[in-house]
Chains A and B, each alone.
Chain A
Amino acid sequence: DAGVIQSPRHEVTEMGQEVTLRCKPISGHNSLFWYRQTMMRGLELLIYFNNNVPIDDSGMPEDRFSAKMPNASFSTLKIQPSEPRDSAVYFCASSTGRNQPQHFGDGTRLSIL
């Protein structure tokens, strides 16, 4: 079975550029989560979708960050404009419900120069 698929695996871009990260959740999972992982802060929840609707975006750090889920099989996390402090590994996870085990993708390693 295919797991959670994220693209790109690596992204290097210059400060000020727009960055779009993509996620395909596991088929049949109706909950989707975006996380950010850094050495300093660990793994932090950015936003949670249930049935394609954003339920909790309290972890989104700034208005520069936005996330969408146009359908059950695709989600994007966008940063515009990007800043060096946004450099981190961004993970997408999906599950069959918010309190069910989450399955993570392999992440996008983002470097903002």
Chain B
Amino acid sequence: QKEVEQDPGPLSVPEGAIVSLNCTYSNSAFQYFMWYRQYSRKGPELLMYTYSSGNKEDGRFTAQVDKSSKYISLFIRDSQPSDSATYLCASRGRDDKIIFGKGTRLHILP
């Protein structure tokens, strides 16, 4: 079992809809959780960075962590065509090594 898993998609939603992207992880030692956005033929860029359980909001983006169920979510409100990308979730444990999921491809339809 890979330590961080996410559905590869693609996920297609109409512009303006709320997008929900999800991830599960297996290592209970993970303490830090991240979401990266990767456009085609570009490197990943950090979107959200959270520690432990709870919610963190940044503009249209909300990251949610539930450590009891080992579940990570990213919500995008008022989705835009420019949000079309691959979204990678990632976790980091006490050894500081970041483990990435394989990514979910998101398409926002205008």
Label chain B's interface by main secondary structure: loop
Nearest chain A CB to B57 CB, angstrom units: 18
Q: How many contacts A-B (CB < 8 Å)?
A: 42
A104 touches B44 (CB 8 A): yes
Interface string of B15-53 (1 = CB under 8 A from A): 000000000000000001000000001111110010000
A residues in contact with B2, CB < 8 Å = 42
B102 touches A42 (CB 8 A): yes
- Tell me if A106 is interfacial: C-beta within 8 Å of chain B: yes
Contact (A98, B100) CB under 8 Å given A43-B88, A93-B43: no
- Tell me if A21 is interfacial: C-beta within 8 Å of chain B: no
Measured in the bound complex, the distance between the Cα atoms of B43 and A103 in whole Å is 8
B43 touches A104 (CB 8 A): yes
B96 touches A4 (CB 8 A): no
Q: Which residues of B contact A (CB under 8 A)?
A: 2, 32, 41-46, 49, 88, 92, 96-98, 100-103
Q: Which 8 A-B pairs have the closest CB atoms?
A: A104-B43, A42-B102, A43-B100, A98-B96, A101-B46, A99-B96, A106-B43, A104-B44
